[in-house]
Amino acid sequence: MAMTGVLRPGHGAIRVLDLEEAVHHYRDILGMVETGRDAQGRVYLKCWDERDHNSVVLRQADRAGLDFFGFKVRDKATLDKMEADLKAYGLKTERIPAGEMLATGERVRFELPSGHLIELYAEKKAVGNGLQVTNPAPWTKASENGIAPVRLDHCLLYGPNIAEVQKIFTEVLGFYLVERVLAPDNETNAAIWMSCSHKVHDIAFVEHPEPGKLHHLSFLLDSWEEVLRASDIMSMNGVPIDIGPTRHGITRGCTIYAFDPSGNRFETFMGGYQPYPDYEPTTWTFDGLGAGGGLDYPQRKLHETFLTVVT
Ligand SMILES: [Fe+2]
């Protein structure tokens, strides 16, 4: 697939209740690299193998959750075109000047009917992954710090009107539907997994009455062994685990859901398959989410927290 349009998830900006406790979690336990702090006090981090300056931004606030989620697009012409397309579709957009986020160019922000703020941007300073670009080693010391995921992979968001959200991502932003869970009516979608790439998901949504909620930010590991090692590190450090280690039937990802110190859920996972835009989307019935193994294939049960705990 030619990589044009939206390239990948670029940043998740999340609210935390205690900044230094959160920095300890994301930097020392999850094992991200701290790359900067800005005048507002926000802390910027990246996964070791990411090339751009940041993928997670932490902001201290009195409630946890997601401020905004951003996608990197191919270039400035793409950014201008997508902003025009969003406006033509009927959405209001806002330009946030370059430099408002450290090392990040101009961003185009819009609000989804689910209540989430989504951003597109074309430029972020490349700081590299600590490896040479000529004859590089396969890994570096940073890849051994904590859980050490390779990248921010996707997010799952909860909010209303996901049928509208699906139209915006597929008709305006060039994503395609990979998997879905039907609502109990067997017609509408209760949950959708969408891709802008060859990944099994770049963003996912669950229909939920409260707008703007975060279910999880997800971080990619290279192997099942690393997922098990992640669960050891979580347990050693008192990180509360929600589900796993186990395998999702949906996407086939091998996963752990756990919580940061503010109650924001995060996922460390490996695997999944490689879909193409011409594939027929996989459909799960609402019963299939639980008894069919959609959420937890080995245990085939709908963990209560999956549908109820969000920030
Ligand atoms: Fe996930």
In the chain (311 residues long), the average pLDDT of successive 10-residue segments reads: 90 98 98 98 98 98 98 98 98 98 98 98 97 95 95 98 98 98 96 97 98 98 98 98 97 98 98 96 96 95 93 97
Residue 210 lies in a domain: yes
Active site residue 53: no
Lookup result for tokens 């205690």? 18
Report how far ligand 1's centroid is from the alpha carbon of 134 (Å).
Answer: 33
Distance 311 CA to ligand 1 centre (A): 15
The confidence score (pLDDT) of residue 13 equals: 98
Residue 88 structural domain: 6-131
**216 catalytically annotated:** yes
Active site residue 267: yes
The total number of structural domains in the chain stands at: 2
- Assess whether 232 and 275 both reside in one domain: yes
Contact in structure between 200 and 247 (CB atoms under 8 Å): no
Would you give the distance in Å from CA 157 to the centre of its chain?
Answer: 9
CATH number for the domain including 183? Answer: 3.10.180.10
pLDDT for 2 equals 76
* Catalytically annotated residue among 11, 25, 201, 208: 201
Q: Compute how many other C-beta atoms are within 10 angstroms of the C-beta atom of residue 77.
A: 10
C-alpha closest to that of 31 among 197, 151, 205, 174: 151
Looking at the structure, tell me whether residues 99 and 226 fall in a common domain: no
Catalytic residue flag (residue 273): no
Q: For residue 165, is it left (φ>0), alpha (ψ between -120 and 50) or beta?
A: alpha
Does residue 210 have an active-site annotation?
Answer: no
Let me know whether 191 and 106 are in one domain.
no
- 82 and 226 in a single domain? The answer is no
How far apart are the two ends of the chain, measured CA to CA in Å? Answer: 35
The predicted pLDDT at position 278 comes to 96
Q: What is the model's pTM?
A: 0.97
- Whether 185 maps to a domain, the answer reads yes
Question: What are the residues whose beta carbons fall under 8 Å from the beta carbon of 261, sequence distance 6 or more?
Answer: 16, 17, 18, 21, 22, 24, 25
Query: Quick check: is 275 in a domain?
Result: yes
